[in-house]
């Protein structure tokens, strides 16, 4: 990792068992735009697209910022990333597991994940706290 920060992505993942993936022009929120080569990335297969939640952990092998459109004032930064899988998830963690954690001020890693991924259900790349990354590491 470049600066000790981990990231997570929630998006459609056609093959959760693949050795690598490329995700193009992904929306970023909560610091997700700072993702860089060498960073750790937790992959969630979006339930909105038939996925099951957490499926893998990987290492970012390439990133490229998507250029902003001219003439559009409010734009969410987007980035394309390539990821090499380093471990499959050994336990389930999805929307139903995180839904009960909705006290936004309790400081729990489960609440952070619920807030960042499911309060606004769009697919995205998000930055994670050290506590949330450690929590997710327990699934591998």
Tens-of-pLDDT digits for all 140 residues of the chain? 345 689 999 999 999 999 999 999 999 999 999 999 999 999 999 998 899 999 999 999 999 998 887 777 777 889 999 999 999 999 999 999 999 999 999 999 999 999 999 988 799 999 999 999 999 999 99
CATH of the domain at 64: 3.10.590
Question: Do residues 21 and 55 touch, judged by C-beta distance below 8 A?
Answer: no
Instruction: Specify the number of domains making up the chain.
Output: 1
pLDDT at res. 1? 38
Q: Give yes or no for a contact between 119 and 101, defined as CB atoms under 8 angstroms apart.
A: no
Residue 21, C-beta contacts closer than 8 angstroms, at least 6 positions apart: 13, 43, 58, 82, 83, 85
Within a domain: 129: yes
Structural domain range at position 58: 6-137
User: Is residue 57 one of the residues assigned to a domain?
Assistant: yes
pLDDT at 121: 79
Query: How much is the pLDDT for 4?
Result: 63
pTM of the entire predicted model:
0.92
- Asked whether residue 14 is assigned to any structural domain, the reply reads yes
- 1 located within any domain: no
Domain-located, residue 118: yes
- Cβ-in-10-Å burial (0-12, 13-18, 19+) of 119 comes to exposed
């Amino acid at each position: 990792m470049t600066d000790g920060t981990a990231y997570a992505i929630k998006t459609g993942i056609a093959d959760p068992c693949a050795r690598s993936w490329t995700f193009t022009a992904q929306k970023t929120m909560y610091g997700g735009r700072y993702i860089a080569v060498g960073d750790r990335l937790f992959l969630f297969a979006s339930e909105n697209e038939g996925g099951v939640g957490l499926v893998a952990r990987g290492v970012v092998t390439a990133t490229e910022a998507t250029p902003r459109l001219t003439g559009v004032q409010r734009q969410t930064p987007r980035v394309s990333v390539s990821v090499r899988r380093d471990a499959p998830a050994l336990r389930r963690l999805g929307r139903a597991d995180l839904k009960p954690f909705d006290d936004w001020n309790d400081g729990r890693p489960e609440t952070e994940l619920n807030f960042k991924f499911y309060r606004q259900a769009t697919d995205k790349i998000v930055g994670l706290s050290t506590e949330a990354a450690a929590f997710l590491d327990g699934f591998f």
